[in-house]
Structure 1
Amino acid sequence: MSKRITDSQLIGEIGESAAKTRFLNIGFQFDGRSRLEAGIDGIAEVMDDGTPLAKMIAVQVKATDKAKYSNETDEGFTYLLRTEDLQYWRNSNLPVIIVLYRRSDETFYWKEIPNAFSVDERKLVFDKAADFLNHQAADSIAQLTVPKAGHGYYVPPLGGGEEALVNMLPIKLPAEIFVASTPYTAKQAMAILFDADEPSRFEWAIKGRTFWSFHDPRNECTAQIVDEDQVDVIDTSMIAHHEDIDEQHNFSFLLRQLLRHQFGRDLGWDKERKVFYFLAEAENQTRVFKYQSAVNRAEADVVNAVKDKKDKDRIAFVRHHAFAARFELMLDQWFLILSPTYHFTTNGFIPHSYPAALLAGKKRLDNNASLRGQVIMWHRFLSGSEVPDDDLFGPHQTDERYLEFDPPPVVSLPTTVPEKAWGSVKAKKTGEDSNDLLEGLELD
């Protein structure tokens, strides 16, 4: 009986050759292994513009002629790994990826095999857009060579540079600050103002029986908590640029209180999570903010009433744009370090019982562009600039404007930051509605 090469052997060889060509086309070297291989078909070496970097990735190629993958849709599919392959890969000292090649449509998809993958977690979920093997995947694959333990080292993104927006807003402070003596502690002073008949204001700080504020306490309700004959007006820099770290912390607290007061009409404060968030104007109602983005006029649903996927007449939850604020002094300049996030309520006012799951789901959808857009949006709001006259949002701060914010700095990076470096995107389960738990999550 004559020898015969099976169709399975033939498509396997074709798949390895096609994968080698694909890696060469995206700028990597690829060396195939001998026929004694037991689960690694080749080694890909990262190159930067033709320069080998001695950073290796183990590659296993699985090829098919024209068969559909499990649960395949236009968006993705699943792939079940073999138990013996998983056990073999777990001993690898190199990162391991699997490449799926289909000859009929010349498609390549790739996925990392996590070192901690157990034999009970053999199903990989592929996203056809995110996991396609092409030039856009080069940076993500190169990042796999960074050690997961220890301090690690940096694998530079491949290709040209870009401009990065720093999430720090320089603060322009008032030239003068009011300082007075007070017989009260901060808690005692707050209790006095709460019990008073006139409206209270709390954008002040007390430390060591010394009162600080940017408003004149003698002309406000705060006259009750200071010694009116002991009020001085001094240069703000004498306090703001103090070298003592405790004094800086006290001034930082004052800035946070001032931010709450200045934008109190439109920003709420979540004391537990320590974030500012856009207030709803009405129950279960979306609120829009129009502003000038980096290039075009834009608008954002800063309060978004998300409908239930199954019952369109019911509101599943309300998502509010929010940010965590930190004030830092750097080289005699105070900055507001702004970290965009989200706040969740049931109807715009009642805190949601399970915000963590909703936040995690939304964060997985955020990418570099959306975070950049949020920083720009927050700067436009806080600076009170570039808001169209016909905007329905209305005035968004008090008549007292003590804090002014300059635009966030822009830094030129020598190389482009890969999108996946901003965080891992959890793959959707093919054939299932990914919003079963996180109903109605979508990008604004």
Structure 2
Amino acid sequence: MAKYKQIGRADMTGDKGIALIHRIVNDMGFVWNALHLEAGIDGIIEIRDAVTAEVTNCIIQVQSKAGHSYFKAETDTGFEFLCDERDLDYWMRGNAPVVLVVSRPDQNEAYWVSIKDYFRDPNRRKSRKIQFVKTTDRFDAACRERLAALALPVDSGHYLAAVPQTDTLICNLLPVADYPERLFRATTKLRYPSQVWETWEADGVEAKPEWLLHDGFLYSFHDLTFSPWTKVCIDSTTQNLSSNAFAFSQDANLKYVFVRMLGSCLKEILNRQGVRFSQSRWHYFFRSTSDFTEKKVGGLSVFKSYQSKSNPDRIAYYRHRAAELDFVRFDGQWYLQITPTYHFTQDGWKLSRYFDERLSGIKQLERQNKTHLRQLRMWEEVLRQTHLSGSQKKPKQRSLFVEEPAAMPTPTPYTMLSFDPLVAFDVDWNVPESAWLPQPADDSDADDAPGQGRLFE
């Protein structure tokens, strides 16, 4: 027999369970009142408007069961709880809604069920058994609206505003961080870019791609007084100009030249990473791999084949990640505007016959913000070349007996144009996607002749 009075481990666990409920209810913006003299109800939740701070006098009674012993027949997806007959009779008899919360406080884990709703079925009432589903019965701040619906009368007309939460919004604007300070301009007799290339080819010389032929002038970020530029420019006409004079001019012609010059640098960043420009679709896309195998960047498939459902031995089409990229200026700052999209081919090169149907279908499938954010992050990684300039991975130890294929060389980062991280805004209000977006659809792709009916099944 113990010499001194004791408070056992079960009592401590029960108290932790009440504390866990108190914290979660507080996170919801509701009021928790613990009962000290009770026969089967541990506390009361009063519904409160988190914005106006108004209390409603609409309540929910709560019974807590805390500890590992209450999780019977547990699996990865659920567990069972057997109610005591006297408890169940007591809960069902009253006129207020009652919820049972079963928790493991040491794991910060709790699940709940509305007793009167669950045991409305006579067969369930007879068995006294509750089957908890972990994915849908989790007791946390996300179940706030469902709890409020139990307490508020249907005809009350009372609206509960969302609990104020801060959030960070990611914009699709990538700030231009750096570009060459000087822009060279010289007069030329040549009128078409093809003439410039033909002149260099005839002389057997190579030139950098950062140049523009416009209105009788050749523009470049390279000094035009040196070869091979002197072969296509008129002597003594070269001007050394400030790039910012073009970047921040109100003259449409000067802005056009600056944007085109940035575009020539942008193409170099992308070309080094296997991204090409589609003249017909006016967007950039990842080209096919040499052996038509899947390619990933930032965890996303940027090139992938899809088999025909009617004939698994045949490739129905290839999907390429793509993006519309446009330089824009706001408040004296240049940005690259990124609009993710897709490119579809039937053989890795030729456009798919069902290009528009496939694009429309996948756009409807990808209505979740998180999907667009992942694509934005992927393009940010490509454009900022973070996966090229990062630390070198430790080389794997080569086998002495097995000949391994040589790894593809990593492209050298392009330095003439660089970008800062995507623009982000901190806001005082958060609207959960679950409150306004439909349930995510299965991200499968259409077959040979896609239809849209399956998108809404």
TM tier, smaller: 0.5 to 0.7
Distance 1:435 1:264, change over 3 A: closer
Conservation of the 8 A alpha-carbon contact between 1:365 and 1:425: no
Residue 372 of structure 1 is matched in structure 2 by 373
Residue segments in structure 1 that go unaligned for 5+ positions in a row: 1-25, 28-46, 53-102, 107-128, 139-155, 290-297
Residue 415 of structure 1 is matched in structure 2 by 429
Residue 335 of structure 2 is matched in structure 1 by 335
Counterpart among 225, 238, 262 of residue 255 in structure 1: 262
- Alpha-carbon deviation of 1:422? 8.9
Distance 1:245 1:434, change over 3 A: closer
Identity of aligned residues (%): 22
Residue 174 of structure 1 is matched in structure 2 by 180
Residue 193 of structure 1 is matched in structure 2 by 197
- Alpha-carbon deviation of 1:412? 0.9
Conservation of the 8 A alpha-carbon contact between 1:283 and 1:349: no
Residue 271 of structure 2 is matched in structure 1 by 264
Cα distance in 2, alignment partners of residues 354 and 283 from structure 1? 23
1:147-175 CA-to-partner distances (Å, cap 9, x unmatched) read: xxxxxxxxx97752311111111111112
Conservation of the 8 A alpha-carbon contact between 2:305 and 2:317: yes
1:29-82 CA-to-partner distances (Å, cap 9, x unmatched) read: xxxxxxxxxxxxxxxxxx974669xxxxxxxxxxxxxxxxxxxxxxxxxxxxxx
Cα distance in 2, alignment partners of residues 268 and 196 from structure 1? 23
- Alpha-carbon deviation of 1:244? 1.6
Distance 1:276 1:434, change over 3 A: closer
Cα distance in 1, alignment partners of residues 295 and 258 from structure 2? 33
Residue 163 of structure 1 is matched in structure 2 by 168
Residue 244 of structure 2 is matched in structure 1 by 237
- Alpha-carbon deviation of 1:194? 4.6
State how many pairs are aligned: 294
- Alpha-carbon deviation of 1:261? 3.2
Residue 402 of structure 1 is matched in structure 2 by 416
Conservation of the 8 A alpha-carbon contact between 2:354 and 2:450: no
- Alpha-carbon deviation of 1:267? 1.2
Cα distance in 1, alignment partners of residues 175 and 235 from structure 2? 33
1:282-341 CA-to-partner distances (Å, cap 9, x unmatched) read: 25321122xxxxxxxx42211111222343332221111111011012233211111111
**Partner of 2:236: helix, strand, or coil?**
helix
- Alpha-carbon deviation of 1:135? 6.2
Residue 285 of structure 1 is matched in structure 2 by 293
- Alpha-carbon deviation of 1:248? 1.4
Counterpart among 209, 214, 218 of residue 207 in structure 1: 214
Cα distance in 2, alignment partners of residues 379 and 434 from structure 1? 25
Conservation of the 8 A alpha-carbon contact between 1:284 and 1:347: no
Conservation of the 8 A alpha-carbon contact between 1:164 and 1:412: yes
Cα distance in 2, alignment partners of residues 48 and 327 from structure 1? 45
**Partner of 1:324: helix, strand, or coil?**
strand
1:76-118 CA-to-partner distances (Å, cap 9, x unmatched) read: xxxxxxxxxxxxxxxxxxxxxxxxxxx8899xxxxxxxxxxxx
- 1:321 paired with 2:312, answer no
Counterpart among 194, 202, 223 of residue 216 in structure 1: 223
**Partner of 2:319: helix, strand, or coil?**
strand
- Alpha-carbon deviation of 1:251? 1.6
Indicate the RMSD between aligned Cα atoms, in angstroms.
4.2
Q: Give, as a single letter, the amino acid of the residue that structure 2 aligns with 1:323.
A: A
Higher RCO (CA-CA < 8 Å; seq separation 6+): 1
Q: Which has the higher helix share?
A: 2
Bigger shift: residues 371-380 or 238-247: 238-247
Conservation of the 8 A alpha-carbon contact between 1:201 and 1:222: no
Q: Give, as a single letter, the amino acid of the residue that structure 2 aligns with 1:285.
A: T
- Alpha-carbon deviation of 1:379? 1.5
**Partner of 2:363: helix, strand, or coil?**
helix
Distance 1:434 1:209, change over 3 A: closer
- Alpha-carbon deviation of 1:259? 1.4
Conservation of the 8 A alpha-carbon contact between 2:187 and 2:237: yes
Residue segments in structure 2 that go unaligned for 5+ positions in a row: 1-27, 30-47, 54-116, 121-135, 146-160, 396-406
Higher radius of gyration, 1 or 2: 2
Distance 1:359 1:223, change over 3 A: farther
Q: TM-score, normalised by structure 2?
A: 0.54
Cα distance in 2, alignment partners of residues 359 and 168 from structure 1? 23
